[in-house]
């Protein structure tokens, strides 16, 4: 059946060299290529999985983060209003509200990014490259839920054009493209992606006391009548943020008052399961760990980078605990693993095979550096109480140098053994 469909589509294939053919080729190869498998006998160097299907594994691993992140957008919105404060209360309105907020971000991330990819593929006269498949899936998950869409579009254009196409396209970029989009927003429009007011969506001003819920026509004119007809929960127009509520993240609280300030607002269970304000997909640790295991088992992500990153974070956390010069440094190293986006970053960002180190020993060094440097930035930088974005980009730059010295050391050892053998 699939072969017949492929043959039918080939009959309507647009003319080569046109933008239409570039788009056709991208979707055709995604659906039907490769059409061969590895032979069961003989020497095997590579299997029949192409880069598109390798990327699909990462997208699959992110789906639980998407599901939880969608719901958590709605949950945090209603907690701010003092409504449906139990996590499973108001399930219907929380889920639909999260979808209303997430879908535009997801659509813009893919339409803009793929638009740039298609344009460059057309100009170069070759097939659309596969790299943006994962980038487009990651970008929505590392953004605040109320980020202006035009800023998101600018950041994606910058990241894809300057970070990838300027270096030659997929497989040639030095920096992680998704993180480059985030860092562009952080430095160009810092108030939209930092502070305590940007992590909870849906208010006419910043998410501060007295702000009013801002529901658009789709919710008020479509969703409310439909939900009301089924006897479900509805959105209350004019609802205001409850007195005493704070949208501060655990990291923001820890930077000001240490672990006691965090536990006065959030429990360890909330931080572990992810029912806290933050970037859309980075908060739920069980779902991130599930994705981590999936990528390690399928050998899409290298366990060396993940494990060494965790080791680097733990060791640096212990050293900072011993130093203890400020309340944030006194936070136990284990709590650093559940407070912010470390597990998400080390699983889905640091393991990017293009921008990471490629040698086995280099991966241990690369991952350790991310874990250690990231925690230093998180704890010692008062202006930015999170460090994984900057530490990964920093280690991206040094990954080729790490591989160079690892290979040079291997060559030196082999030369010494060869000379010793000749003398013997």
pLDDT at 47: 47
Of 225, 243, 261, the domain-final residue: 243
Looking at the fold, whether 74 and 152 belong to one and the same domain comes out as: yes
- Radius of gyration over alpha carbons of the chain, in Å? 24
Residue 40 counted as domain residue: no
Looking at the fold, whether 165 and 307 belong to one and the same domain comes out as: no
- Is residue 26 within 8 Å of residue 52, measured between CB atoms? no
Q: What's 174's DSSP letter?
A: S
b/e map 198-219, b = 16+ CB within 10 Å: bbbbbbeeebeeebebebeeeb
Of 195, 224, 243, the domain-final residue: 243
pLDDT at 33: 55
Q: Longest Cα pair distance anywhere in the chain, in angstroms?
A: 90
Looking at the fold, whether 229 and 260 belong to one and the same domain comes out as: no
Residue 213 phi/psi, 5-degree rounding, is -60, 130
What is the three-class DSSP state of 213? strand
- Is residue 70 within 8 Å of residue 93, measured between CB atoms? no
Please list, in sequence order, all residues whose beta carbon lies within 8 angstroms of the beta carbon of residue 199, skipping any fewer than 6 positions away.
76, 144, 145, 207, 247, 249, 277, 278, 279
Q: Give the span between the Cα atoms of 154 and 183, in whole angstroms.
A: 12
Looking at the fold, whether 133 and 19 belong to one and the same domain comes out as: yes
Q: Give the span between the Cα atoms of 93 and 84, in whole angstroms.
A: 10
Q: Give the span between the Cα atoms of 219 and 75, in whole angstroms.
A: 16
57, 363, 371 from 297: Cα distances, Å: 11, 17, 22
Which structural domain, as residue segments, surrounds residue 388? Answer: 252-413
Residue 39 counted as domain residue: no
Looking at the fold, whether 280 and 156 belong to one and the same domain comes out as: no
Q: Within a 10 A sphere around the Cβ of 332, how many other Cβ atoms?
A: 11
171, 214, 234, 271 from 207: Cα distances, Å: 40, 11, 21, 20
Closest listed residue to residue 200, CA positions, set 71, 386, 73, 65: 73
CA 147 and chain centroid, separation: 15
Looking at the fold, whether 186 and 257 belong to one and the same domain comes out as: no
Q: Give the span between the Cα atoms of 340 and 318, in whole angstroms.
A: 17
Looking at the fold, whether 211 and 360 belong to one and the same domain comes out as: no
pLDDT at 13: 64
Looking at the fold, whether 229 and 129 belong to one and the same domain comes out as: yes
Residue 45 counted as domain residue: no
Looking at the fold, whether 115 and 183 belong to one and the same domain comes out as: yes
Tell me whether residue 312 is exposed, middle or buried, using C-beta atoms within 10 angstroms of its C-beta: 0 to 12, 13 to 18, 19 or more. Answer: buried
Handedness of CA 29, 32, 35, 40 (dihedral sign): positive
Tell me whether residue 49 is exposed, middle or buried, using C-beta atoms within 10 angstroms of its C-beta: 0 to 12, 13 to 18, 19 or more. Answer: middle
Looking at the fold, whether 269 and 398 belong to one and the same domain comes out as: yes
Q: Give the span between the Cα atoms of 424 and 421, in whole angstroms.
A: 5
Residue 314 counted as domain residue: yes
Q: Give the span between the Cα atoms of 140 and 281, in whole angstroms.
A: 8
The total number of structural domains that make up the chain: 2
Residue 4 counted as domain residue: no
Residue 394 counted as domain residue: yes
Looking at the fold, whether 123 and 264 belong to one and the same domain comes out as: no
> Could you tell me the mean pLDDT of each successive run of 10 residues in the chain, 424 residues long?
61 60 59 54 50 78 96 96 94 96 96 89 73 90 95 96 87 90 94 88 79 91 94 92 86 90 94 94 95 94 96 96 90 93 95 93 97 94 82 96 95 88 76
Of 243, 271, 297, the domain-final residue: 243
- Is residue 227 within 8 Å of residue 93, measured between CB atoms? yes
Give the pair of three-digit tokens for residue 42: 């003989």
Q: Give the span between the Cα atoms of 306 and 311, in whole angstroms.
A: 9
Residue 64 counted as domain residue: yes
Residue 130 counted as domain residue: yes
Looking at the fold, whether 331 and 237 belong to one and the same domain comes out as: no
Please list, in sequence order, all residues whose beta carbon lies within 8 angstroms of the beta carbon of residue 192, skipping any fewer than 6 positions away.
144, 147, 148, 151, 185, 198
């Amino acid at each position: 059946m699939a072969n017949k469909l492929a043959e039918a589509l080939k009959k309507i294939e647009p003319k080569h060299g046109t933008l239409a053919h570039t788009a056709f080729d991208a979707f055709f190869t995604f659906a039907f290529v490769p059409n061969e498998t590895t032979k069961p006998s003989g020497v095997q160097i590579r299997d029949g999985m192409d880069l598109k299907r390798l990327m699909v594994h990462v997208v699959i691993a992110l789906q639980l983060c998407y599901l939880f992140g969608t719901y958590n957008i709605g949950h945090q919105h209603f907690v701010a209003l003092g409504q449906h404060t139990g996590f499973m209360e108001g399930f219907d309105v929380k889920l639909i509200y999260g979808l209303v907020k997430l879908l535009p971000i997801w659509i813009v991330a893919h339409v803009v990014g793929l638009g740039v990819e298609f344009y460059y593929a057309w100009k170069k006269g070759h097939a659309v490259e596969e790299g943006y498949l994962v980038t487009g899936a990651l970008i929505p998950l590392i953004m605040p839920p109320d980020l202006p869409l035009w800023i998101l579009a600018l950041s994606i254009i910058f990241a894809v054009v300057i970070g990838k196409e300027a270096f030659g396209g997929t497989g040639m970029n030095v920096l992680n493209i998704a993180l480059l989009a985030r860092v562009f927003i952080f430095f160009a429009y810092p108030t939209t992606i930092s502070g305590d007011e940007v992590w909870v969506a849906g208010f006419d001003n910043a998410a501060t006391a007295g702000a009013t819920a801002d529901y658009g026509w789709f919710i008020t004119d479509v969703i409310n009548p439909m939900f009301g007809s089924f006897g479900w929960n509805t959105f209350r127009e004019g609802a205001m943020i409850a007195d005493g509520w704070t949208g501060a993240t655990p990291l923001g609280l820890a930077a000001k008052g240490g672990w006691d300030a965090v536990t006065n607002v959030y429990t360890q269970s909330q931080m572990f399961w992810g029912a806290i304000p933050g970037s859309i997909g980075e908060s739920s640790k069980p779902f991130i760990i599930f994705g981590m295991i999936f990528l390690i088992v399928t050998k899409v992500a290298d366990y060396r980078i993940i494990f060494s990153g965790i080791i680097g974070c733990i060791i640096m956390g212990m050293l900072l605990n011993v130093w203890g010069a400020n309340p944030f440094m006194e936070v136990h190293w284990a709590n650093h693993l559940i407070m912010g986006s470390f597990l998400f970053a080390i699983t889905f960002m640091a393991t990017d095979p293009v921008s990471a180190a490629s040698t086995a020993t280099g991966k241990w060094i690369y991952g350790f550096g991310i874990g250690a440097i990231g925690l230093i930035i998180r704890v010692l930088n008062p202006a930015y109480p999170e460090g994984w974005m900057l530490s990964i980009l920093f280690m991206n730059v040094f990954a080729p140098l790490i591989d160079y010295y690892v290979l040079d050391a291997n060559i030196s050892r082999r030369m010494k053994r060869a000379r010793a053998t000749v003398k013997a």
